[in-house]
Chain A
């Protein structure tokens, strides 16, 4: 499979769009994509002052949405507030300790 840096940048952009749609605080999370593998590190938290009912999505549904982005091969999670969710996107069904 050919990997293209532009594809990685495009994936990164789409991942940020997903996070923004769910009011995730981008200042507390880093998104990296290399060879179509997306890595999320930091904390998955909503922006301050966002009402709990503003978005019903759970971390699992957000991760699922990211995995469905075209060209994404894998999602690696290394989130401070999602213990036990590291690496395998298949584990995205677990619930983090804190989601903001």
Chain B
């Protein structure tokens, strides 16, 4: 039992023991299992809690039921592209998004849905894009720039 529980102060126990910052949660959506594994391992090693799904519909279900600090979203997936999925996620609640694209040409003003996204969500500064193939350091850099470090320090500041 935690020593501070003994003084009978429930608040004290909560403050010192339970309210330490939770891990930052990342939802990664990509139809390639290898990419998901790489994303998960790289970010878990940096202190983030990562949930992975390989189908857009599963991502929506998960997103409805849980909160995430960031969504990593592949642009090209069977059934639904990243732009479409993003619009559906954003209609549930706002969340920073890091798009991961295999082709930079998919991410250009000629892409369907791009203009709305660029002048809307991107102009808020809470969205970013990473092109495959990418360095893991670039992935971590962009994630940290969007939501901060995943590592919890002794004083609870991340």
The residue that A20 contacts in the complex, of B110, B125, B149, with Cβ under 8 A, is B125
User: Which residues of A (2-32) have their CB < 8 Å from a CB of B?
Assistant: 5-6, 9, 12-17, 20-21, 25-28, 30-32
Contact B141 A16 (CB under 8 A): no
Q: Is B128 an interface residue (CB 8 A)?
A: yes
The distance from the CB of A42 to the nearest CB of chain B, in whole angstroms, is: 8
Q: Is there a chain A Cβ closer than 8 Å to B29's Cβ?
A: no
Residues of B within 8 A of A26 (CB): 122, 128-129
Cβ-defined contact, A5 with B124, below 8 A: no
Known: A5-B148, A5-B157, A27-B131. A13 touches B142 (CB 8 A): no
User: Is residue B107 within 8 Å, beta carbon to beta carbon, of the partner chain?
Assistant: yes
**A52 CB-CB contact with B under 8 Å:** no
CB distance from A28 to the nearest CB of B (A): 7
State in angstroms the CA–CA spacing of A13 and B144 once bound together: 11
Count residues of chain B with CB under 8 A from any CB of chain A.
29
Expressed in whole angstroms, the Cα–Cα distance for A27 and B141 within the complex equals 12
Closest Cβ neighbor of A48 among chain B residues: B108
Q: What is the minimal beta-carbon distance from B111 to any residue of chain A, in angstroms?
A: 9
B101 touching A21, Cβ below 8 Å = no
Output the nearest chain A residue to B110 by Cβ-Cβ distance.
A49
How far is A49 from B111 in the complex, measured between Cα atoms in Å? 10
Say whether A90 faces chain B, with CB atoms less than 8 Å apart: no
Q: Which of B101, B118, B144, B145 contacts A27 (CB 8 A)?
A: B101
Does A20 contact B131, Cβ atoms closer than 8 Å?
Answer: no
Task: Assess whether B126 is interfacial by the CB under 8 Å rule.
Answer: yes
8 contacts between A and B (CB under 8 A): A5-B148, A16-B125, A16-B128, A17-B123, A17-B124, A17-B125, A25-B107, A47-B108
